[in-house]
């Protein structure tokens, strides 16, 4: 597929967002760009970064720097990954494969969603060198859950992420106004929006069929049609997933196990006691619970409680390498980019994602140098100052509440 190199002049996530908005029909862009209800959680995810500022050291030799780190026993080129996102096929053809290949080239992990539009096996085959993590949405049908985990294990996925914060279908005002649930309603307004985007229409509706959630099956040996899969995905999520179910997953999965969607200290401790290797602090990018706390707000207290015994990762609201360094200095092991990656893939597929990852790594590297650090493991809260409203460790002299 010919890809116009429109993204060559993209230097920020905001630039990729503008390109995505120009390419996508408005209802599809709103699905990518929007949040839950009044979007206060989504706005706060960004605002919290303004309450954390740097306190650099300057008399340090920083000529030789490295952004490398280790995640679950594997060396990676930078302390970030691409978060799992469902429905990516609406943004770019074979978007999951584009992500996996770009992440393999950048030597950072890629998280594949249960709701992906390429199968577990297709992504693994298309990017054999990628560090693939599989994200599990837990369904009422235990056989379905078991089959998905077994397929990921057999395909060589290195880590399993179980998402625990999306057991109910969220209320997103933008999507409701656009008639967008799992599919786009065929209203005159939506049809006109699509007709105004001929490049998207050509790639998504003419050259390829509209995406389906191809990982889902009813009998585990035959695919179900697109509408049935979407209905299953929306209506069969298990709202009763608890610690006993997590222990069962721990017994089944032979590798690093992460729980995604944590925002509480007590829950982080319980998850660690169940044998999980890591948690991902997340409010789903502000897409689920209105007024949910920003993960960065609770990061210090959770790191203080469990950071010595398990890896604490974080997502939601990250838009720059500068943001990444703030989270690392607060104790996070790595950051996952979600919506930012969605903007990039809609700007130009694999090549655009590669550019985003390169920009983020360069920004992390530059910020390290300005702080007087030569490696990410040198970061600490001593390099930060806080405005009121961001919790932290009592042991940090740089903290003011």
End-to-end alpha carbon distance in the chain: 53
Kindly report the backbone phi and psi dihedral angles of residue 2, in degrees, each rounded to the nearest multiple of 5, phi listed first.
Answer: -70, 130
Tell me the C-alpha distance between 194 and 176, whole Å.
17
Q: Would residue 284 show up in a list of annotated catalytic residues for this protein? A: yes
Tell me the C-alpha distance between 340 and 318, whole Å.
8
Residue 56: alpha-carbon gap to chain centroid: 29
Residue 226: alpha-carbon gap to chain centroid: 24
Tell me the C-alpha distance between 401 and 395, whole Å.
13
Tell me the C-alpha distance between 13 and 56, whole Å.
25
Instruction: List the beta bridge partners of residue 281.
Output: 262, 314
Tell me the C-alpha distance between 308 and 259, whole Å.
17
- Active site members: 284
């Amino acid at each position: 597929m010919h890809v116009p190199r429109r993204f060559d002049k993209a230097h920020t996530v905001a630039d990729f967002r503008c390109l995505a908005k120009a390419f996508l029909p408005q209802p599809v862009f709103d699905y990518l760009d929007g949040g839950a209800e009044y979007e206060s959680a989504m706005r706060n995810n960004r605002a919290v970064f303004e309450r954390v500022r740097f306190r650099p050291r300057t008399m340090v030799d920083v000529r030789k720097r490295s952004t490398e780190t280790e995640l679950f026993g594997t060396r990676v080129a930078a302390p970030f990954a691409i978060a799992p996102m469902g429905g990516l096929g609406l943004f770019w053809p074979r978007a999951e494969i584009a992500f996996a290949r770009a992440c393999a080239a950048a030597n950072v992990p890629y998280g594949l969603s249960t709701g992906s539009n390429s199968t577990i096996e297709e992504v693994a085959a298309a990017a054999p060198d990628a560090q693939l993590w599989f994200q599990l949405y837990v369904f009422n049908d235990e056989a379905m859950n078991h089959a998905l985990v077994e397929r990921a294990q057999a395909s060589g996925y290195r880590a399993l992420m179980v998402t625990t914060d999306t057991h109910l279908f969220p209320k997103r005002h933008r999507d409701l106004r656009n008639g967008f649930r799992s599919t786009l309603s065929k209203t005159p307004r939506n049809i006109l929006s699509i007709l105004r985007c001929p490049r998207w229409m050509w790639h998504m509706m003419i050259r390829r069929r509209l995406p389906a959630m191809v990982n889902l099956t009813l009998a585990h040996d035959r695919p179900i049609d697109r509408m049935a899969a979407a209905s299953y995905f929306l209506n069969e999520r298990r709202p009763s997933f608890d610690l006993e179910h997590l222990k069962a997953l721990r017994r089944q999965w032979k590798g690093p196990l992460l729980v995604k969607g944590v925002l509480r200290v007590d829950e982080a401790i319980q998850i660690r006691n169940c044998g999980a290797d890591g948690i991902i602090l997340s409010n789903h990018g502000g897409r689920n619970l209105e007024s949910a706390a920003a993960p960065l707000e609770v990061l210090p207290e959770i790191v203080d409680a469990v950071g010595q015994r398990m890896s604490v990762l974080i997502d939601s609201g990250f838009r720059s390498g500068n943001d990444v360094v703030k989270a690392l200095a607060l104790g996070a092991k790595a950051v996952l980019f979600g919506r930012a990656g969605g903007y990039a893939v809609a700007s130009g597929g694999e090549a655009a994602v590669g550019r985003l990852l390169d920009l983020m790594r360069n920004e992390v590297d530059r910020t390290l140098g300005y702080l007087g650090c030569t490696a990410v493991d040198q970061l600490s809260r001593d390099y930060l100052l806080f405005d009121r409203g961001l919790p932290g460790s009592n042991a940090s002299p740089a903290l003011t509440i």
